[in-house]
């Protein structure tokens, strides 16, 4: 089975609530998405939280998977957006000099 067919099957099964499909998707994509998000974040734990939240959101809104045409694009764009949001929040937090001094920045 090629990657496109496999992803289409996984997305359909996931939309139906198949936990094994979610597990397969998680095992396939978590390491790749984590490495991608780590390019935006200073700490691995921060990147892990972002990616875990992304996958949790995927499970919660799994019915939308039937509308997704390209799983890779969807995951990496979602991860990028979440990472950028996290970076923006940390910049707002560090806009207050005393907050950055506490963190050692």
Mean pLDDT, consecutive 10-residue stretches, the chain (105 aa), reads 66 90 93 95 91 94 84 93 86 58 45
- Architecture, CATH, for domain 3-103: Orthogonal Bundle (1.10)
Residue 37 CB burial class (10 angstroms; 0-12, 13-18, ≥19) = buried
pLDDT at 41: 86
* Helix ranges (DSSP H) in the chain: 3-15, 19-38, 44-60, 71-94, 97-103
What is the predicted pLDDT for the residue at 100?
55
Confidence at residue 89, expressed as pLDDT on a 0 to 100 scale: 78
Residue 28 confidence (pLDDT): 92
Left, alpha or beta for 18 (phi > 0: left; psi -120 to 50: alpha)? beta
The answer for residues whose C-beta is within 8 angstroms of residue 34's C-beta and 6 or more apart is 47, 48, 51
Q: How far apart are CA 18 and CA 21, in angstroms?
A: 5
The answer to whether 73 and 28 have CB atoms below 8 angstroms apart is no
């Amino acid at each position: 089975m090629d990657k496109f067919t496999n992803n289409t099957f996984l997305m359909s099964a996931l939309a139906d609530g198949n936990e094994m499909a979610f597990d397969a998707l998680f095992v396939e994509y978590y390491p790749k998405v984590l490495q991608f998000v780590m390019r935006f974040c200073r700490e691995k734990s921060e990147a892990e939280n972002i990616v875990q939240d992304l996958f949790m959101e995927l499970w919660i809104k799994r019915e939308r998977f039937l509308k997704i045409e390209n799983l890779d694009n969807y995951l990496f764009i979602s991860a990028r957006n979440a990472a950028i949001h996290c970076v923006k929040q940390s910049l707002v937090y560090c806009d207050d000099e005393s907050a950055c001094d506490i963190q050692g920045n």
